[in-house]
Amino acid sequence: MSDNREQTIDRLLLQLIKEGNQAALASFYDRHSRLIYSLILRIVGRVPDAEEVTQEVFLKVWRSAGSFDSTLGSPLAWLTTVARRLAIDRTRSKHYKSEKSETGLDALEIDDEGGFEGQVASNRLESIGTAEHRVLFSAVERLSEEYRLIVELSYFSGHSHSEIAERLGCPVGTVKTRLRQALGQLRSILMEGKS
Amino acid sequence: MTHEQIRSLLEGYVFGSLDENEQKQVDAHLQTVCRDCRTELQDLYELSVKLAQSLPQSDPSPQLRENLLAQAARKSVKSSHRFPRRVWLPTSVSAAAAVALFFWGFLLHKENQKLRQRLSEAEDVSSLLRSPGMQFVDLKGVDPNPQAFGKVVLDRQRGKAVVYMYRLPQTPQGKQYQLWVMREGKPTSAGVFTVAPDGSAALKLDRLPGTDGLPSFLVTIEPEGGEAAPTGMMYLTGPVPPEKN
């Protein structure tokens, strides 16, 4: 199915959800819960937290489908943004931090050289899925190590530019430039794949 | 901040990694409806979806779906029954209270019926959306009511459709809207309806009149009960696009 058709279905479902249609919510959940849960799990690193945040995301959709602004992108882009924000909020909560230190979750974080450790690394190696997923996976893999690190720190770990600058020991301006270049490179790799 | 400076912040804006001041500046710039920045922003949001799609995918537990739907149902029932909460009951149940209780029960029953009906409509849509021959038809408002619009979810093979219409003017006294399927210039009635106070209406069609060839949909206003052929003003129209093979 084309992206346009997928977007039309999502827009229609959001319209129905806004009107209080529970079956539309079930349909919307069935279409996107796998992606949203996987993203959240990647950010929070723990199944119980990932499930709680996933539920929070779809309840937010249920309560605020009307706040979707179609001028800013597709329903899926909106959903992904909501999921990422709630997941990052969870990693900043006191409860999460205290449990994290008890369970040694730090092992899942990337090291300063940009290598990935623990469960995350093995997940990446096990990565299987649809053809589209494999294309995207290898596109991210093809980013230079430096760019992959910046995407990892800002997108998946939710660090601010100044936090990243401090961590990498470089000026904030360099972080902004590198992030822009990293996404530019990702876009070019994806375009190459299409042509 | 210049336009170029703002553009250099858009990646951080999408990823939520700007500081508060930068965030405010981008928000203010976007309020000016800068088309370039909006396009760039949309592109970045789509790129962020692709980053999520590049991850290894795994399913949440089936229990999560059940919990979510149960919670949504609770929230929906709560909000739809707000109005009878102030029913006053004296210590000794008086006749007035009994009437109030009866009335309350009646309202709950009606609300339940509405919820069930909405659920069944949505199940129909979900089933249509899964059908391989599913098509969308856009209905556009016709002058002097260009604000009206609609969407038809259509399964030609099974002759089923759900039609959603919005922003139609209130139904005049003694009239009803009528939906038509036009085929080779010949109209067949697909049903009559009135609109809700917000101008919306939904119509479920189980036995759609012939949709071979390239038909179109049409909504007109007619005397109550409908007519055999359109006589009144046209409100919505939309052609069915050719099926893709």
Q: Are residues B101 and B143 in the same domain?
A: no
CB atoms A38 and B80 under 8 Å: no
Its domain, for residue B41, covers 3-53
- Note every long-range contact of B100-109, with CB atoms under 8 Å and residues 24 or more positions apart, other chains counting: B107/B81, B107/B83, B108/B81, B108/B84
Closest by CA position to B218, among listed B181, B188, B189, B185: B181
Mean pLDDT confidence for A113-130? 42
Nearest CA in chain A to B78: A20
Q: How many CA atoms lie within 13 A of B52 on its CB side?
A: 28
pLDDT of residue B80: 44
Same domain, B47 and B118: no
- Residue pLDDT, tens place only, A183-194: 998 888 888 766
Let me know if residue B86 belongs to a domain.
Answer: no
- In chain B, residues with a C-beta closer than 8 Å to the C-beta of A88 are 16
Question: Which residues of chain A lie closer than 8 angstroms to B136, CB-CB?
Answer: 5, 8, 12
Task: Report the mean per-residue pLDDT for chain A.
Answer: 80
pLDDT recorded at residue A127:
44
Q: What is the pLDDT of residue A121?
A: 35
Cα distances from A32 to residues A22, A35, A58, A153, in angstroms, run 15, 6, 10, 24
Residue A157, pLDDT score: 87
B25 and B47 in a common domain: yes
Of A93 and A70, which is predicted with more confidence? A93
The band of A83, judged by pLDDT with boundaries at 50, 70 and 90, is very high
Which of B54, B68, B151 is opposite residue A139, by nearest beta carbon?
B54
For B37-73, b/e burial (b = at least 16 CB within 10 A) is beebbbbbbbbbbbbbbbbbbeebeeebbeebbeebe
Residues B195 and B138 occupy one common structural domain:
yes
- Average pLDDT, stretch A122-133? 53
User: Could you tell me if B194 and B141 lie in one domain?
Assistant: yes
Residues B47 and B106 both lie in one domain: no
How far B61 CA sits from the closest chain A CA (Å)?
A: 8
Write the single-letter amino acid at B37.
C
Under the banding of pLDDT at 50, 70 and 90, the label for residue A50 is very high
Minimal CA separation from B176 to chain A, in Å:
23
Whether B53 sits inside 8 A of A132 (CB atoms) is: yes
pLDDT at A131 over 80: no
B:117-156 residues touching chain A, CB 8 A cutoff: 118-119, 121-123, 125-126, 129, 136, 151, 153
Task: Quote the ipTM score.
Answer: 0.83
Looking at chain A, which residue has its C-alpha nearest residue B128? Answer: A9
Whether residue B230 lies inside any domain: the answer is: yes
**B204 and B146 share a domain?**
yes
- Looking at B107, B130, B153, the residue that finishes a domain is B130
Q: Which residues contact A109 (CB under 8 A, 6 or more apart)?
A: A117, A157
Q: pLDDT at position B96, please?
A: 52
The answer to whether residue B112 sits within a structural domain is yes
B229 and B150, same domain (yes or no): yes
- Answer whether residue B182 is part of any domain: yes
Minimum distance, in Å, between the CA of residue B189 and any CA atom of chain A: 25
Q: Are residues B28 and B41 in the same domain?
A: yes
In a domain, B188, yes or no: yes
Is B91 domain-assigned? no
Same domain flag for B106 and B157: no
Find the residue in A nearest to B138 (Cα). A8
If you search the block for the tokens 């990935």, which residue do you land on?
A116
Residue B142 sits in a domain whose CATH number is 2.60.40.200
Residue B22 forms part of a structural domain:
yes
Query: Is the same domain home to B207 and B234?
Result: yes
Count structural domains, chain B: 3
- Specify if B63 maps to a domain: no
- The pLDDT, as a whole number, for residue B38 is 85
Q: Which domains are assigned to chain A? A: 1-104 (1.10.1740.10), 109-195 (1.10.10.10)
Q: What is residue B94's predicted lDDT score, i.e. its pLDDT?
A: 46
Q: Of the candidates A20, A137, A186, which has its C-beta nearest B47's C-beta?
A: A186
Q: Give me the residue from A25, A41, A161 closest to B18, CB to CB.
A: A161
Helix B95-130 with A22-44: angle, nearest 10 deg: 70
**Closest to A62 (Cβ–Cβ): which among B53, B54, B75?**
B75
Contact at CB, B15 and A155, closer than 8 angstroms: yes
Question: What's residue A57's pLDDT?
Answer: 97
pLDDT digits (tens, 9 = 90+) for B96-124: 545 554 555 555 555 555 555 555 555 56
Same domain for B48 and B103, yes or no, is no
Low-confidence ranges of chain B (pLDDT < 50): 78-94, 97, 101
